[in-house]
Homo-oligomer: A and B are copies of this chain.
Amino acid sequence: MLPDRQVKVGVLGATGTVGQRFISLLANHPFFVVAALGASERSAGKPYAKAVNWKQTVPIPSAVRELVVQPCKPEHFQDCTVVFSGLDADAAGDIEAAFRAAELIVFSNAKNYRRDPHVPLIVPLVNPSHLSIIPQQRALHSPPLKKGFIVTNANCSTTGVVIPLAAMEKAFGPIESCIITTMQAISGAGYPGVASLDIVDNVVPYISGEEEKIEWETLKILGGITETDDGKKAFDMHARHPLRLSASCNRVPVIDGHTECVSVRFARRPPPSPQQVREALAAYTSDALSLGCPSAPRHTIFVHEEPDRPQPRLDRDYQNGAGVSVGRVRQCRVLDIKFVVLSNNVCIGAATSSIINAEIAIARGVIQV
């Protein structure tokens, strides 16, 4: 059940790239309303419009222009039903822990808790069922928590590829190998991020830590949750059907939108045909949509028929960047099927995922509003 009244939310890291995106996306949200903004001590105490070096292509929403930025301390966010975190990794660890310990609910885009065995790593169009770990997360906290928890969403390049992989596994059973080559947008590195001298007329065939994230996070997201004899839940990392992933990550001179070339091999023989894969991708739908989440895309995966699509500049803003676009589904002469997937790294690859995750948690009653 979705709320019929406003739900107050806070944004941590509000002046950063991801924070700005949270604020832009929340500006027209049907029930979330931004009630508190947190940033570094340098910004705290200033009205948001003065504190931020705004880099979005839409103006600062008028509702937050004058909102005074707070330090990232729980006492300033007590009114917030949900806190979205766009903090950098070097700050997120301690702050998010403190917020949870103060019984606040954190939906984080930071990487710090993605590998925590009790924190769900949720791509909202794929594995919202992992919210079921939350009672255990609260119970194992010291002291045990009544309300507070942390949910993370995935790395931007993981998110793009895991959605079509999930759709394929749902239709055709386990994938056994997957080779991914990414061409990632500069906005994925934040601001100032990539120096222009490094990327104009250039490709950088390396993004620190990125390949490891794709190879590890995908297993947690696509895997299930096992239960031991003593009732403990654990993420199984796709262990029942081992999945080998190999990623090569590149930075390209594109503002927004990660393009990924993917080849997969299925366990089931014979594998599906390209046409069967196209149909399964187009038919894939998310719980987020059936739950009525307002930020969920109507089409989880748009399947292009033209040979030269998807393209980041043309397709990244489809459905406000909340879905993904797939094209060029065809046979791979080494594995089974290859295709191209495009995802908007600053929307479904970041803030939009956090927001839909929170919408799902509300719709399912994990959060009481």
Q: Which residues of A contact B (CB under 8 A)?
A: 55-59, 177-179, 181, 183, 186-187, 191-206, 208, 215, 244-246, 248, 250, 252-255, 259, 261, 263, 307-315, 317-318, 327-328, 332-335, 338, 340
With A197-B187, A197-B193 already in contact, the answer to whether A181 and B261 are too (CB < 8 A) is yes
Could you tell me if A328 and B206 are in contact, using CB atoms closer than 8 angstroms?
Answer: yes
With a cutoff of 8 Å between Cβ atoms, the chain B residues found around residue A340 in the complex are 205, 248
Could you tell me if B246 and A338 are in contact, using CB atoms closer than 8 angstroms?
Answer: yes
Which residue of chain B has its CB nearest to the CB of A201? Answer: B201
Q: What number of copies of this chain does the assembly contain?
A: 4
Interchain nearest-CB distance for A223 vs B (Å): 16
Which residue of chain B has its CB nearest to the CB of A211? Answer: B330
With a cutoff of 8 Å between Cβ atoms, the chain B residues found around residue A255 in the complex are 197, 200-201, 313
Interchain nearest-CB distance for A175 vs B (Å): 11
With a cutoff of 8 Å between Cβ atoms, the chain B residues found around residue A335 in the complex are 179, 246, 334
CB<8 Å pairs between A and B, sample of 7: A183-B183, A202-B254, A205-B308, A205-B340, A248-B263, A248-B328, A250-B261
Interchain nearest-CB distance for A247 vs B (Å): 9
Interchain nearest-CB distance for A339 vs B (Å): 9
Could you tell me if A261 and B191 are in contact, using CB atoms closer than 8 angstroms?
Answer: no
Interchain nearest-CB distance for A274 vs B (Å): 13
Interchain nearest-CB distance for A271 vs B (Å): 14
Could you tell me if B186 and A200 are in contact, using CB atoms closer than 8 angstroms?
Answer: yes
With A181-B181, A245-B333, A340-B248 already in contact, the answer to whether A313 and B201 are too (CB < 8 A) is yes
With A179-B179, A191-B197 already in contact, the answer to whether A261 and B318 are too (CB < 8 A) is no
Could you tell me if A200 and B196 are in contact, using CB atoms closer than 8 angstroms?
Answer: yes
Could you tell me if B334 and A244 are in contact, using CB atoms closer than 8 angstroms?
Answer: yes
Tell me, in angstroms, the Cα distance from A120 to B310 when the chains sit together: 37
Tell me, in angstroms, the Cα distance from A261 to B249 when the chains sit together: 9
Which residue of chain B has its CB nearest to the CB of A215? Answer: B333
Name the 8 nearest CB pairs between A and B, nearest first: A192-B195, A181-B181, A202-B313, A206-B308, A248-B261, A196-B196, A246-B334, A205-B340
Could you tell me if A253 and B196 are in contact, using CB atoms closer than 8 angstroms?
Answer: yes
With a cutoff of 8 Å between Cβ atoms, the chain B residues found around residue A244 in the complex are 333-334
With A204-B311, A310-B205, A333-B245 already in contact, the answer to whether A253 and B250 are too (CB < 8 A) is no
Tell me, in angstroms, the Cα distance from A201 to B187 when the chains sit together: 12
Interchain nearest-CB distance for A333 vs B (Å): 4
Tell me, in angstroms, the Cα distance from A69 to B43 when the chains sit together: 39
Interchain nearest-CB distance for A248 vs B (Å): 4
Could you tell me if B193 and A263 are in contact, using CB atoms closer than 8 angstroms?
Answer: no
With a cutoff of 8 Å between Cβ atoms, the chain B residues found around residue A252 in the complex are 183, 203, 252-253
With a cutoff of 8 Å between Cβ atoms, the chain B residues found around residue A318 in the complex are 59
Interchain nearest-CB distance for A190 vs B (Å): 9
Tell me, in angstroms, the Cα distance from A333 to B200 when the chains sit together: 31
With a cutoff of 8 Å between Cβ atoms, the chain B residues found around residue A328 in the complex are 205-206, 248
With A179-B332, A183-B183, A332-B179 already in contact, the answer to whether A254 and B192 are too (CB < 8 A) is no
